[in-house]
Amino acid sequence: MTTSTTPSATDLFARALRYENRADPYPHYAELRRHPVMRMDDGSWLVSGYREIRQLLHDPRSSADRLDPQNKIPKAARSLLMQDPPLHDQLRRVVTQEFVPRVMGMRDHLGELVGRLLDAHTSDRPGQLDVVAELAYPLPVTVICELLGVPREDEALFGGLARRLTRGLDPVDTQTEEELRELDRARGELVQYLEGLIIQRRTNPGNDLLSGLMFHEGPDRVLDPIQLRVTLGLLLIAGHETTVNLIANGTLVLLRNPDVLARLRTDPDLATPLVEEVLRHDPPVQISGRSALADIDLAGTTIPQGSRIRLMLAAGNRDPHRFEDPDRFVPDRRENAHLGFGGGIHYCIGATLARAEAQIALTALARRLHAPRLVTDPPPYRENAILRGPEHLLVAFERLTPDTPPVS
């Protein structure tokens, strides 16, 4: 308990992350942002100003090592999300070269997948659709499974594992012992499943991403078996849990802004800037982490070498010093250099795919749902504070029409 009149960084952070504030943490982020760089009681640091976050995302003094005292995974066995150069750069080049070409020409196929998912609910009578369960969740699971070559019958198993593992990205100090044990179990199951897949590809490689990663040819060192498993795990979690939230958050904001929904229906190209604005206004990844490799002078204070740093991406995205009227959702906002995908050397590898999935899903919803409205506002949220999004998003509609030919 503190006697000062202003709450401490620790209190403010705890408040922002409290589950009861999950639906709208933004006023609490605004409180944090009054001091864009703050020290917490445990010696770690919170950074919530746009400029300051951007600086740290691009700063050679920032390490992606979160210095998480509970993280016992040896450095070499961590995903590239938590690797520093030069190893990070080699891993990233391999993953980029194998992943990106496989998703570049995918828009038409994504349109088919979205169409198929919504076709199952076509109705000329009033009804309800859980956008999370019926669209936002299955779409990226199917996509990542197709990419990796996971058999269709295993999609449910695979998707379930991803869900359980997502919680592992939340701060350890917000998790119970039981949750941590459950995480270990899920990790074990994933490793076991991937092992089977890897053995199978070793003797029978295909055109899929997994085979590509295993047999990558190039100047950079090939992934060793441990890094291969870790990378697959990363692609699974990062590659789908975030997209679920992007689509769900996008749907939510459309339903809260019927004029924008109407515009998107008549102008599908609006989806392009609109998805960027979702990434700014209500980003799927709310917080990232770094540590200081040297003393870092920032916003009039010094973050000492060796400090853990939390980058409050979602707070930076609402910084009035960078974005005009930051709390407003402006679907065609200009110069929207948001932090939704991070920045610097760790910029989201899957950004292209996530954008395409969200653009196509939101456009299809706008086109096919007639007179949609939220059944509960706010919707129930999942526990996760970092990969934050609705647990369910129940939408009532008058009709869900069959698709008309989409405008690419």
Partner 1 sequence: MTTQSPPQPLRLVVDLNLCQSYGQCVYAAPTVFRFHGEESLEYDYAPDAGLRREVERAAAACPVQAITLSGATEPAPTVGGADR
Partner 2 sequence: MTASGAAGLRSGRIVVVGASLAGLRAAEALRDEAFAGELTLIGEEPHEPYDRPPLSKAVLSGRLSCDHIVLPRVRNIDAHWLLGTPATGLDVPARRVELADGRSVAYDRLLIATGTRARPWPVRAGGGLDGVHVLRTREDAERLRGALVAGPSRVLVIGAGFTGGEVASVCRELGLAVTVTQRSGAPLTSALGGVIGRAAADWYREAGVDLRTDTTVQALEGDPSGRLRRAVLSDGTVVDAEVAVVATGALANTEWLAGSGLAADQRGVVSDGGCRAVTTDGRRAEDVFVAGDVARWPHPHYFGRLLRLDHWDNAVAQARTAAHNLVHGPGDQRVHRPLPAFWSHQFGRYLKSIGVPALADQVVVTQGALDQRRFVAAYGLKGRLVGAVAVDSPRVLDGYAALIEARAPFPPMLGATDGPAHLDPVDAELPGRAAGSASDHDPGTPSALASAASAHR
Q: Please report which helix (H) or strand (E) contains residue 38, including its range.
A: strand 37-39
Q: Which helix (H) or strand (E) holds 240?
A: helix 225-256
Task: For the chain, give the number of residues.
Answer: 408
Q: Using CB under 8 A, which of the segments 11-19, 61-69, 96-104, 384-392 binds partner 2?
A: 61-69
Q: Distance between CA atoms of 379 and 80, rounded to whole angstroms?
A: 33
- Pick the piece of the chain touching partner 1 (CB under 8 A) from 98-106, 109-117, 282-290, 322-330: 98-106
Q: Is 303 helix (H, G, I), strand (E, B) or coil?
A: strand
108 binds partner 1 (CB under 8 A): no
- For the bound state, the minimum distance from the C-beta of residue 269 to partner 1, rounded and expressed in Å, comes to 6
Regarding 58 and contact with partner 2 (CB under 8 A), the answer is yes
CB-wise, 27 or 306, nearer to partner 2?
A: 306
Minimal distance in Å, beta carbon 359 to partner 1?
8
For partner 2, which stretch binds (CB under 8 A), given 2-10, 51-59, 194-202, 239-247?
Answer: 51-59
- Mask: binding to partner 2, 291-310, rule CB under 8 A, as x and -? --xxx-x-------x-----
Q: Which stretch binds partner 2 (CB under 8 A): 4-12, 52-60, 196-204, 251-259?
A: 52-60
State yes or no: residue 60 binds partner 2 (CB under 8 A). yes
Given partner 2, partner 1, none, residue 297, with its beta carbon under 5 to 8 Å by kind, binds: partner 2
Options 173, 269, 327, 377; binder of partner 1; rule CB under 8 A:
269
Which of partner 1, partner 2, none has residue 200 at its interface (CB below 5 to 8 Å by kind)?
A: none
Q: List residues bridging with 46 in a β-sheet.
A: 38, 310
Applying CB under 8 A, the span of 180-188, 189-197, 277-285, 287-295 interacting with partner 2 comes to 287-295
Residue whose pair of structure tokens reads 């129930």 in the numeric block: 380
Closer CB to partner 1, 275 or 369, in the complex? 275
Q: Which does 341 bind (CB under 5 to 8 A by kind): partner 1, partner 2, none?
A: partner 1
> String of b and e for 267-298 (b: at least 16 CB within 10 Å)?
ebebbeebbbbbbbbbbbbbbbbbbbeeebeb
Question: Taking CB within 5 to 8 Å according to partner kind, which of partner 2, partner 1, none is near residue 61?
Answer: partner 2
Write the secondary structure of 87-142 as one string of H (helix), E (strand) and C (coil): HHHHHHHHHHHHHHHHHHCCHHHHHHHHHHHHHCCCECCCEEEEHHHHHHCHHHHH
Rounded least distance, CB 111 to partner 1, Å: 14
Q: Cα dist. 249→23, 177, 215, 343, 357 in Å?
A: 11, 30, 37, 21, 13
Tell me which of partner 1, partner 2, none is bound by residue 335, counting a contact when its beta carbon lies within the kind-specific cut-off of 5 to 8 angstroms.
partner 1
Position 386, amino acid? I
406 interacts with partner 1 by CB under 8 A: no
Quick check: 117 and 213 in contact, CB under 8 A? no
Instruction: Kindly state the smallest distance separating residue 347's Cβ from partner 1, in Å.
Output: 6
Query: What distances in angstroms separate CA 290 from CA 44, 45, 141, 159, 188, one per listed residue?
Result: 10, 10, 28, 28, 26
Nearer to partner 2, 85 or 126 (CB): 85
With contacts defined by CB under 8 A, how many residues of the chain interact with partner 2? 20
Q: Which of 48, 62, 231, 251 binds partner 2 (CB under 8 A)?
A: 62
195 DSSP assignment: H
324 binds partner 2 (CB under 8 A): no
To 5 degrees, how large is the angle CA 383–CA 387–CA 388? 55
Residues 72 and 331 sit within 8 Å (Cβ to Cβ)? no
The one-letter amino acid code at 82 reads M
**Residues binding partner 2 (CB under 8 A):** 54-55, 58-63, 84-86, 89, 293-295, 297, 305, 344-345, 347
**Residues binding partner 1 (CB under 8 A):** 96, 100, 103-104, 269, 272-273, 275-276, 335-337, 341, 343, 347, 351-352, 355, 408
